[in-house]
Amino acid sequence: MTTSPLSDAIAADLKTYGMRFIGTTIVYAYLQSIGVLNAHEPGCFLHRER
């Protein structure tokens, strides 16, 4: 999965501010890198329970 409802919403909002070269996949990757999204599979040692 390379998108989420959150990344879709953020990308759409950024486009209203004139950011034309950003999309939902880039926002999704950014959200993963800063720890907002946890995209690890349940069997992965990096997966954490919430």
Binding site as annotated, residues:
40, 44
Question: Helix crossing, 24-33 with 5-16: angle to 10°?
Answer: 120
Question: Do 24 and 9 touch, CB atoms closer than 8 A?
Answer: no
Cα(17)–Cα(30) distance, rounded to whole angstroms?
Answer: 18
Task: Indicate the annotated binding residues for Zn(2+).
Answer: 40, 44
